[in-house]
Structure 1
Amino acid sequence: MFEGVTLHQLQCFEAIVREGSFQAAAEKLSRAQPSVSSSVKNLENQLQLTLLDRSGYRVTLTEAGRSFYQRTRLFLQEAKRLGDHAAQLAMGEESELRVVIGDLCPLPETLRLLRSFFDRCPGTGLHLHFEAISGPWERLFEDEADLIFHHINKSDPRLEFVDLVAVEVVPVVAPNFLAFPISKLMTPEQMRDYVQCVIRDTARHSKPADYFLIEGARSWTVSDQLMKRELILQGMGWGHMPRFMIEADLRAGSLIAITGHYFKGGRREVVAARRRDTPHGPVANRLWEFIAEQTAKFAPAVS
């Protein structure tokens, strides 16, 4: 009875249920709506089952359809994994890997890690990008990066990750930058007239994000953390900085932390992350395993 059923028919059926209509499924699959309808009708005829109830305003599953749909989803997931595995086998050694380093990532340790690996892979080039805020995520999800070093939403099922280091973010000012005494009860209203230095979000297609920004405050944007640190040191603004970048400045008194009740700072867990729903070649997989092996050496260097 199952003979002659095609993968395309199952994909059309699954898309109709997931998208809620024949038209939406056709758009999702980049197919003509009559073609999708015909594929599912042929599927029902071959199975001798009515999978969809078409009598209402919206198409719904029949009882048999609900049971068949659950098995169809599992089958299509396995088919995708099989296709990904075949793609990996066909890839061979990659000529280059695309890696993005985020703005909160400890740069010396990350570059040292990459150098240690790529010294052993002279046939694979490293295409390196530096991105800020949402930029690394955009590169990854638009298939412009094989791997990112950044903080992520760890609950996103599309991603797999290796924990690297927790980065403390501290609000700081230069000495004598403020016209009032520093205290733990300083308010956003007191800071509103002072220039706040922020990192420019490098995402190109999504809405820019900002962190720790005081609404209504004057702000200057910079492209990277090094420039931001220099502006704050020169008394041209204040802002939040990764502690590992300013530890020496804090000890020397050239920067002062203003952490308090309203300015708590924060922590970001920097990870190595990649898509788990796309195939990866042999060099990419070796790099992934290498990073996992080196995590114990990575974190203490910036703690």
Structure 2
Amino acid sequence: MLDTLTLDQLRVLVMVADVGSFSGASRRLQRVQSAISKSIRTLEDALSIQVFDRAGKYPVLTPAGSALVDDARKLLRDADVLKSRARGMAEGLEPELGLAVDPLFPNEVLMRALRELETEFPTLPIRLVTAGLGVPERHLREGAVAVAVYSLETTGADDLDATFLVTIDMVPVVAAGHPLARLHGPIGREDLTRHVQLVLSDTGPAGWQRGLVSQKIWRFADVYVRLEFLLAGFGWCNMPRHLISPALADGRLVQLEIREQTGFQLPLQAVRLSGKLPGLGASALIRNLQTLLKQGEDV
């Protein structure tokens, strides 16, 4: 008999429980009272239990009925979510939005953009992966994500669609107690090569070499782990300015003045597979990122 249970019966159950009478439910639902009573009787028959005690002037939920009302509310909420998701997908919203982001991208901007996306599309599941250098592109090509935020310069790919987002200032820095911090005037390449350079691991096929100077290399897969080693004085490296601004301000890090190169700029893009139109969620996310970046969010 459970297969005769309907969402409409559950709505009637919840309404009667909320207003406390069959007559009140009939007015709220704009149905005759006999239809409300019949719906409750059919529900009780389907469940083989008594939901309401009708002995008094007004129906009172039985203990079993009280428990079922809570379950009914959850089922109705789930049904509403299902209908909302289906409606969104019919209009072009993705069943799920996969996103891979290079940690060089400002977290503050990313989090605000994702919050706005959740507000606009509350039923859209979002799957986020943070990984550096060639990893976002690999996730994109494998179909694991629909959008990858990273710099195409790091992989050299020219067969993908990309939307420019922001240029990241990469500056050479070292801990205040490091020997390089005590050198006066512009530092030459010969000075740098004698010290350890902390480098992010490159999974790209060609190996990204920009900014690579030293003969002593320590490689890191995580930019935040590299930052810890940098602050501990193990070596020097080029870091995104927005990530190290607090440490520069309080003196824990010192920006190096290098004779040959005083840093460089790295463009970051929102990258998609070529020729594949983005869904509503992906389009909204890219738009949110662009808007926030134009507003000057800590970059």
TM-score normalized by the length of structure 2: 0.61
Contact 1:182 1:258 in 2 (8 A): no
- The residue that corresponds to 1:265 in the other structure is 263
Partners of 1:285 and 1:99 lie apart in 2 by 12
- The residue that corresponds to 1:48 in the other structure is none
Partners of 1:159 and 1:179 lie apart in 2 by 41
Give the letter for the 1:134 counterpart.
Answer: G
Matches within 5 A, 1:174-189: 174-178=175-179, 181-189=182-190
| Same amino acid, percent of matched pairs | 24
- The residue that corresponds to 2:198 in the other structure is 197
SS of the equivalent of 2:176 reads coil
1:301/1:280 CA distance change after superposition, 3 Å: closer
Partners of 1:250 and 1:225 lie apart in 2 by 17
- Which ranges of structure 1 fall in alignment gaps of 5 or more residues? 1-88
Matches within 5 A, 1:135-150: 135-150=135-150
Q: CA deviation at 1:112?
A: 1.6
1:179/1:213 CA distance change after superposition, 3 Å: closer
- The residue that corresponds to 2:160 in the other structure is 158
Q: CA deviation at 1:263?
A: 3.5
Give the letter for the 2:246 counterpart.
Answer: A
- The residue that corresponds to 1:167 in the other structure is 168
Matches within 5 A, 1:71-110: 92-110=92-110
Q: Relative to structure 2, which stretch is displaced further, 269-278 or 224-233?
A: 269-278
Contact 1:131 1:202 in 2 (8 A): no
Given the alignment of the two structures, is residue 209 of structure 1 paired with residue 205 of structure 2, yes or no? Answer: no
Partners of 2:100 and 2:224 lie apart in 1 by 17
1:191/1:289 CA distance change after superposition, 3 Å: closer
Q: CA deviation at 1:91?
A: 8.9
- The residue that corresponds to 2:46 in the other structure is none
Q: CA deviation at 1:284?
A: 2.7
Q: CA deviation at 1:139?
A: 2.6
1:291/1:169 CA distance change after superposition, 3 Å: closer
1:253/1:283 CA distance change after superposition, 3 Å: closer
Partners of 1:155 and 1:179 lie apart in 2 by 36
Q: CA deviation at 1:239?
A: 0.9
- CA deviation map 1:112-166 (0-9, x unaligned): 21121123323221111112122223333343321122222599463130x3322
Contact 1:174 1:256 in 2 (8 A): yes
Q: CA deviation at 1:255?
A: 0.7
Give the letter for the 1:268 counterpart.
Answer: L
Partners of 2:245 and 2:190 lie apart in 1 by 27
Q: CA deviation at 1:90?
A: 8.0
1:107/1:280 CA distance change after superposition, 3 Å: same
1:276/1:292 CA distance change after superposition, 3 Å: farther
- CA deviation map 1:250-303 (0-9, x unaligned): 122211111321242101122323234123333333434444444423xx1214
Q: CA deviation at 1:179?
A: 6.4
Question: Of the two, which has the highest radius of gyration?
Answer: 2
Q: Relative to structure 2, which stretch is displaced further, 141-150 or 251-260?
A: 141-150
- CA deviation map 1:229-248 (0-9, x unaligned): 11111111111111111112
SS of the equivalent of 2:172 reads strand
- Which ranges of structure 2 fall in alignment gaps of 5 or more residues? 1-88
Partners of 1:194 and 1:248 lie apart in 2 by 24
Q: Relative to structure 2, which stretch is displaced further, 250-259 or 141-150?
A: 141-150
Aligned residues: 209
Give the letter for the 2:282 counterpart.
Answer: A
Partners of 2:222 and 2:243 lie apart in 1 by 12
Contact 1:94 1:283 in 2 (8 A): yes
- CA deviation map 1:65-123 (0-9, x unaligned): xxxxxxxxxxxxxxxxxxxxxxxx98953221111111321112112211211233232
SS of the equivalent of 1:226 reads helix
Matches within 5 A, 1:55-74: none
TM-score normalized by the length of structure 1: 0.61
Contact 1:170 1:259 in 2 (8 A): no
Partners of 2:130 and 2:231 lie apart in 1 by 23
Q: CA deviation at 1:199?
A: 1.1
- The residue that corresponds to 2:281 in the other structure is 283
